[in-house]
């Protein structure tokens, strides 16, 4: 039962509106530093745009999607009205205010520090405060998810928590803890410098704090996508979840091992010991496990649907799948991109292999393929699936939806594959300008041109997405019925307490954070003389 539809719709609309703006900036960035654009004489404009693109795509857009989807899950999976609606609106407005507060200094060129902050670069203090407000707003959501589950548990003692809600709350806890790293960096280190109270900053420590957030945040972005894999896709294509327990174990594994791995982002940094880098590398390898489990379970779930539809043979069943169903299409595209992106990720997390692609365009290609591709295409799918239930109107034009998904998939491949390639050739990331007339990089011009064209395909797809949703608001009214999630082949009657609660796994997550981050953070914080003068962006 979806009662607070306005709340959920507000989250989704805001998410997709800012997504549209950031997507446009992204396409412009691709164009302006490609051989088909003329060199923008002011690199600062490029970094301004890059900061806005990253801040929106990294913090605002996925957080709003996770929140809106989370509220929808809470109401429909638990079948109870959302507790704390006023708080939910407070969280929403905090995000609105935070986003506006952050984007103004960025637009004025006073905070071109990129969304990863990069101290000792220091921007305007309101940029950071804006980001903090966005995070605080999302923490309200975390608390509400926990409270709603608690209320439900009281009413249903001992009953298995519906999978969608179990996963949703796991995602919210992961976010609550992973955001602490960046919050500490912002509040203890950056804001005092940005406010003029200090003039130096320990950039090494800041990078370690940020790595605490930066990797697990990806799994927070990923959560809605995985929830959709398990609880929406099988239902939408007429199948069942192959294993409810396997799904729970996957989400639990994300909770435990997504956190203590972020230092693979600092392989090239001198301030962390090689032993810790190795541990983080090894734990990063473990994150592949829940993804492999998921791919197995979802393929099995999809096979069930295909066989129910009369599919036969070892691979013959694949043809029997409902390929005209947008959800099926989105899943397939998502898996292909997850496969390529995941394989690239294994290279990034390997201490030695990373050296050849560190800080190259490979990395940009990698996270666009995983996040922009595998994850965001499922955000589209979630929106398409939820929209009729939120608006009470039908999304009629399935052909247009399929076109949109195809364009996104193709656009992402055309954008990111050449990006990976030029990365291997050594093209650095975060550059505003490349002189393709130089013989040293002239051979990369063609790849970069393709990449830029991919950017425009993505932009087209993004616009189409917004058009479809907007038209969906004006379509004829139709009752979509209650919103349901996929059932498992063996729907659990009871679930062991460890698979029905989060406490053990949250405890392990925190314990591993302490073992894997405690010592490096403490030594850096206590070592004298590790700070460097701040470099104020836009200061005269």
Residue 516 CB, nearest approach to other proteins (Å): 8
Among residues 24, 80, 245, 501, which is the contact residue for other proteins, using CB under 8 A?
501
Catalytic residue selected from 33, 207, 248, 366: 366
Q: Is 358 a catalytic residue?
A: no
Among residues 31, 59, 92, 276, which is the contact residue for other proteins, using CB under 8 A?
276
Q: Which residues is 201 bridged to in the sheet?
A: 532
Distance of CA 101 to the CA centre of its chain: 22
> How many residues in the chain?
540
Decide if residue 506 touches other proteins (CB under 8 A): no
Residue 383 tokens, joined: 């929106």
Catalytic residue selected from 248, 265, 368, 389: 368
Decide if residue 359 touches other proteins (CB under 8 A): no
Q: Is 368 a catalytic residue?
A: yes
Decide if residue 440 touches other proteins (CB under 8 A): yes
Decide if residue 288 touches other proteins (CB under 8 A): no
Catalytic residue selected from 215, 389, 393, 502: 215
Query: Would you say 388 and 382 are in contact if contact means Cβ atoms under 8 Å apart?
Result: no
Decide if residue 525 touches other proteins (CB under 8 A): no
Kindly report the number of other CB atoms within 10 A of residue 321's CB atom: 21
CA distances from 332 to 69, 152, 199, 303, 324 (A): 21, 34, 51, 13, 12
Among residues 299, 466, 508, 525, which is the contact residue for other proteins, using CB under 8 A?
508
- Assess whether the previous peptide bond of 120 is cis (omega < 30° from 0): yes
Question: Half-sphere exposure of residue 127, counting CA atoms within 13 Å on the CB side?
Answer: 30
Decide if residue 279 touches other proteins (CB under 8 A): yes
Whichever of 316 and 533 has its CB closer to other proteins, that residue is 533
Residue written as tokens 């399929």?
A: 402
Decide if residue 273 touches other proteins (CB under 8 A): yes
Q: Is 264 a catalytic residue?
A: no
Decide if residue 158 touches other proteins (CB under 8 A): yes
Query: Would you say 222 and 375 are in contact if contact means Cβ atoms under 8 Å apart?
Result: yes
Q: Is 11 a catalytic residue?
A: no
Decide if residue 1 touches other proteins (CB under 8 A): no
Decide if residue 445 touches other proteins (CB under 8 A): no
Decide if residue 44 touches other proteins (CB under 8 A): yes
Rounded Cα–Cα distance for residues 423 and 444 (Å): 10
Rounded Cα–Cα distance for residues 405 and 336 (Å): 13
Phi first, then psi: give them for residue 124, nearest 5 degrees: -65, 140
Helix (H, G, I), strand (E, B) or coil at 357: helix
Among residues 6, 155, 268, 278, which is the contact residue for other proteins, using CB under 8 A?
278
The stretches of 33-84 forming alpha helices (DSSP H) are 43-55, 61-78
Residue 481 CB, nearest approach to other proteins (Å): 33
Catalytic residue selected from 81, 358, 430, 471: 430
Q: Taking Cα atoms as reference points, which of 461, 497, 388, 443 lies closest to residue 158?
A: 497
Q: Interface with other proteins by CB under 8 A: which range of 12-20, 299-307, 359-367, 508-516?
A: 508-516
Decide if residue 438 touches other proteins (CB under 8 A): yes
Q: Is 61 a catalytic residue?
A: no
Residue written as tokens 């290609």?
A: 365
Binding site for other proteins (CB under 8 A): 39, 41-44, 157-158, 196, 199, 256, 271-279, 282-283, 286, 431, 433-435, 438, 440, 496-501, 503-505, 507-508, 511-512, 515, 519-520, 523, 527, 533-534, 536, 538-540
Q: Which residues are catalytic?
A: 215, 219, 366-368, 429-430
């Amino acid at each position: 039962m979806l009662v607070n539809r306005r709340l959920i719709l507000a989250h989704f609309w805001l998410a997709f509106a800012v997504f549209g703006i950031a997507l446009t900036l992204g396409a412009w960035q691709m164009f302006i530093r490609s051989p088909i654009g003329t060199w923008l004489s002011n690199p600062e404009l490029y970094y301004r745009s890059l900061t806005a693109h990253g801040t929106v795509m990294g913090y605002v857009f996925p957080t709003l999607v996770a929140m809106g989807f989370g509220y929808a899950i809470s109401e429909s999976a638990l079948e109870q009205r959302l507790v704390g609606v006023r708080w939910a609106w407070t969280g929403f407005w905090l995000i609105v205010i935070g986003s506006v507060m952050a984007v103004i200094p960025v637009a004025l060129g006073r905070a071109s520090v990129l969304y990863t902050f990069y101290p000792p670069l220091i921007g305007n203090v309101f940029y950071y405060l804006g980001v903090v407000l966005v995070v605080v707003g999302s923490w309200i959501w975390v608390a509400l998810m926990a409270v709603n589950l608690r209320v439900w548990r009281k009413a249903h003692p001992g009953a298995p928590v519906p999978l969608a809600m179990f996963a949703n709350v796991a995602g919210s806890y992961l976010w609550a803890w992973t955001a602490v790293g960046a919050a500490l960096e912002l509040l203890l280190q950056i804001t005092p410098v940005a406010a003029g109270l200090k003039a130096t900053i320990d950039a090494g420590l800041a990078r370690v704090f940020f790595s605490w957030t930066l990797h697990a945040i990806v799994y927070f972005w990923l959560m809605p996508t995985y929830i959709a894999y398990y609880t929406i896709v099988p239902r939408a294509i007429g199948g069942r979840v192959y294993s409810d327990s396997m799904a729970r174990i996957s989400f639990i594994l994300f909770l435990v091992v997504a956190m203590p791995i972020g230092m693979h982002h600092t392989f090239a940094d001198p301030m962390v010991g090689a032993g810790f880098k190795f541990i983080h590398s090894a734990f990063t390898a473990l994150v592949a496990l829940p993804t492999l489990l998921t791919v197995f379970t979802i393929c099995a779930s999809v096979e069930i649907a295909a066989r129910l539809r009369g599919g036969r043979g070892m691979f013959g069943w694949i043809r029997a799948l409902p390929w005209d169903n947008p959800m099926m299409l989105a899943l397939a595209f998502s898996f292909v991109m997850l496969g390529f992106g995941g394989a690239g990720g294994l290279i990034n997390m390997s201490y030695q292999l990373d050296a050849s692609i560190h800080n190259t365009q490979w990395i940009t290609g990698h996270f666009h393929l995983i996040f922009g591709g595998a994850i965001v295409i499922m955000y589209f799918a979630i929106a398409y699936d939820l929209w009729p239930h939120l608006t009470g109107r039908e999304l009629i034009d399935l052909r247009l939806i399929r076109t949109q998904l195809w364009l996104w998939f193709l656009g992402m491949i055309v954008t990111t594959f050449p990006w990976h390639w030029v990365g291997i050739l050594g093209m650095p990331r975060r550059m505003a300008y490349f002189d393709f007339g130089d013989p040293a990089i002239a051979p990369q011009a063609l790849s970069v041109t393709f990449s830029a064209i991919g950017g425009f395909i993505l932009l087209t797809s993004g616009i189409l997405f917004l058009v479809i949703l907007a038209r969906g608001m004006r379509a004829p009214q139709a009752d979509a019925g209650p919103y349901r999630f996929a059932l498992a082949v063996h729907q659990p009657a009871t679930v062991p307490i460890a698979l029905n609660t989060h406490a053990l796994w949250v405890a392990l997550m925190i314990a591993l954070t302490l073992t894997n981050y405690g010592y490096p953070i403490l030594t850096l914080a206590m070592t004298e003389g590790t700070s460097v003068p701040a470099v104020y962006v836009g200061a005269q």
